[in-house]
Amino acid sequence: MKALLDRARSFRRRVDFESIEYRKLAEGQYPEALFITCSDSRVIPALITGARPGEIFELRNAGNIVPPYGSPGASGEAATIEYALEVLGVQDIVVCGHSHCGAMGALKSGDDLTALPGVDAWLQLARPELAPVLTAASDDPSLPDVAQGNVVNQLAVLQTYPVVRQRLDGGRLRLHGWYYEVDTGQVHELEGDGRFRVHTG
């Protein structure tokens, strides 16, 4: 924690806040994309994409799960999606799963989560649609089949949100599925045939 505090305290000295780029940030944000990914500390959207401050709007939670539209109670996920589209006008949404995901690992192994009731309730949102994948997935500890299947499922859930559906139908929104390998840095992109492939730029 000391190292984090030291870097936070010296942040202003390390960054040129007098630059035009940082002065513009005070005027508002105009992100290009909403990036939905896991809260895993090894997954850093700005590092993966090379995004500068203000370029991506982030939504992070355990397992990059999108709750079904109309779920009871307040939802930070629903609020973030709504704000990103209605207020910020983002035209791209990325759902990015990753290898070695603890949430997907818990689903695959069927761990007893009674000591973690909040985690258990949260993962229940993803479990039903993932059931076929969980049964058929290999024992690869990086869990590619499960994490990729979850990305596909969350993209489908996103499309049940009216704000998403309207923009898709009007050609004003694009959805993207990514799978990030934490041990190699490779990004696999979901293609039209339902497969994830690595593209080199």
pLDDT the model gives residue 19: 78
Cβ atoms of 159 and 99 within 8 Å: the answer is: no
Does the annotation flag 96 for ligand binding?
A: no
Give CA–CA dist 165/143, Å, rounded: 30
How high is the mean pLDDT in each 10-residue block of the chain (201 residues)? 86 76 87 98 96 96 96 91 98 98 95 94 95 90 96 98 97 98 96 92 68
Cβ atoms of 34 and 94 within 8 Å: the answer is: yes
In order, the DSSP letters of 94-113 are EEEEETT-HHHHHHHHT---
pLDDT the model gives residue 176: 98
Chain centre distance of CA 160: 17
Give CA–CA dist 133/153, Å, rounded: 11
| Structure letter (DSSP) for residue 19 | S
pLDDT the model gives residue 32: 95
Structure tokens at 155: 């993209």
Question: Residue 165: enclosing H or E segment and its boundaries?
Answer: helix 162-169
Does the annotation flag 188 for ligand binding?
A: no
Give CA–CA dist 144/179, Å, rounded: 8
Does the annotation flag 98 for ligand binding?
A: yes
Give CA–CA dist 184/11, Å, rounded: 29
pLDDT the model gives residue 63: 98
Cβ atoms of 199 and 176 within 8 Å: the answer is: no
- Map out the domains of the chain with their CATH numbers: 30-198 (3.40.1050.10)
Q: What is the pTM assigned to this prediction?
A: 0.93
